[in-house]
Structure 1
Amino acid sequence: MPYDEEPKQKPEKGLEEQKEEQFSFLQETIKPKPVTRRKILTQLARVGIYGLIFGTFACLGFFALKPWAQNQFQGDPKTVTIPADEEPQDEPDKETEPVVQQAPALDADSFKEMMKSVFEIAKEANKCVVSIQPEKEDSVLMTQGSGTEDSNAGIIVADNGQELLVLCDNSICEDTKKWTVTFSDNTQYGANLKKQDKNSGFAVFAVPRIKITKATWNNIDVATLGNSNLVTKGDITIALGNTFGYADGVGYGIISSNEYLENLADGQRRVLATDIPASANGTGILFNLSGEVIGMVKPDIWGESGSNTAKALAVSDLKAMIQLLVNGESVPYVGIYGTTINDAVAKEQEMPTGIYVTQVRADSPGMAAGIQNGDVLQEIAGEKLSNLLSYEKAVLDCKVGQTVKIKGKRRGAGGYVDIDFNVVVGSLE
Structure 2
Amino acid sequence: MEHKNNGHEQEYPLYTERIVPSPKVKYRRLIKTVKILLLIIAIGVIYAVADKIVIPVIMDKIAVRNRVVDHIEFTRDEYPDPETQQIEDQRQIKNDYDAIIQSLRSKVSDVQRTVVTVREYVSGHYNDNDSDTPYVSEEIQDDLVKLENNVEGYSTMGLLVGHLNGRYMILTSQTYTAAVEEYAVVVQDSDEYKAELVCSDELTGISIISIYDTQVTDADSQYMKVADLDNSYVLNKGDMVIATGKIYGTSGAIDYGTITNRTVANSIDNNYEIFETNLSCMKDDYGFLFNSDGNVVGISQVNSDSKLKAIGISDLKCMIECMINRQGKMYFGIVAQNVDSELSEKNGIPMGIYISKVDNDSPAYQAGLQPGDIIQGINKMPCYSIQRLNDKIYDSSAGQVINVSIKRKGKSGYFDASYDVSVELR
Q: Work out which of the residue numbers 388, 391, 394 in structure 1 matches 2:392.
A: 394
Q: Work out which of the residue numbers 254, 260, 265 in structure 2 matches 1:256.
A: 260
Letter paired with 1:297: S
Cα distance change on mapping 1:232 and 1:358 into 2, 3 Å = same
Aligned to 1:129: 115
Aligned to 2:299: 296
Q: Does the 8 Å contact 2:160/2:171 carry over to 1?
A: yes
Cα distance change on mapping 1:161 and 1:375 into 2, 3 Å = closer
CA distance in 1, matches of 2:253, 2:423: 40
Deviation readout 1:231-273 (Å, 9 max, x if unpaired): 333232221111223322222222223x312221111122222
1:344 Cα deviation (Å)?
5.0
TM-score by length of 2: 0.68
Q: Does the 8 Å contact 1:169/1:298 carry over to 2?
A: no
Larger Rg: 1
Identify which range, 331-340 or 357-366, moves more after superposition.
Answer: 357-366
Aligned to 1:237: 241
Aligned to 2:71: 79
Deviation readout 1:9-60 (Å, 9 max, x if unpaired): xxxxxxxxxxxxxxxxxxxxxxxxxxxxxxxxxxxxxxxxxxxxxxxxxxxx
Segments of 5+ residues of structure 1 without an aligned counterpart are: 1-71, 89-102
Aligned to 1:380: 378
Give secondary structure in 1 for the equivalent of 2:153: coil
Aligned to 1:203: 207
TM-score by length of 1: 0.67
Deviation readout 1:334-370 (Å, 9 max, x if unpaired): 1211122345544554433322111223453323334
Give secondary structure in 2 for the equivalent of 1:325: helix
How many residue pairs get aligned? The number is 332
Cα distance change on mapping 1:254 and 1:343 into 2, 3 Å = closer
CA distance in 2, matches of 1:195, 1:205: 7
Cα distance change on mapping 1:422 and 1:226 into 2, 3 Å = closer
Aligned to 2:163: 159
Give secondary structure in 2 for the equivalent of 1:174: helix
Give secondary structure in 2 for the equivalent of 1:205: strand
Give secondary structure in 2 for the equivalent of 1:373: coil
Cα distance change on mapping 1:78 and 1:274 into 2, 3 Å = same
Cα distance change on mapping 1:409 and 1:291 into 2, 3 Å = closer
CA distance in 2, matches of 1:124, 1:190: 24
Aligned to 1:274: 277
Cα distance change on mapping 1:365 and 1:128 into 2, 3 Å = same
Q: Work out which of the residue numbers 318, 321, 328 in structure 1 matches 2:319.
A: 321
CA distance in 2, matches of 1:293, 1:414: 49
Segments of 5+ residues of structure 2 without an aligned counterpart are: 1-62, 81-94, 124-138
Aligned to 2:217: 213
Identify which range, 392-401 or 404-413, moves more after superposition.
Answer: 404-413
CA distance in 1, matches of 2:312, 2:345: 32
* RMSD, aligned CA: 3.5
Give secondary structure in 2 for the equivalent of 1:218: helix
Q: Does the 8 Å contact 1:147/1:246 carry over to 2?
A: no
1:118 Cα deviation (Å)?
5.3
Cα distance change on mapping 1:402 and 1:77 into 2, 3 Å = closer
Give secondary structure in 1 for the equivalent of 2:113: helix
Cα distance change on mapping 1:117 and 1:385 into 2, 3 Å = closer
Letter paired with 1:415: G
Q: Does the 8 Å contact 1:197/1:427 carry over to 2?
A: no
1:340 aligns with 2:338: yes
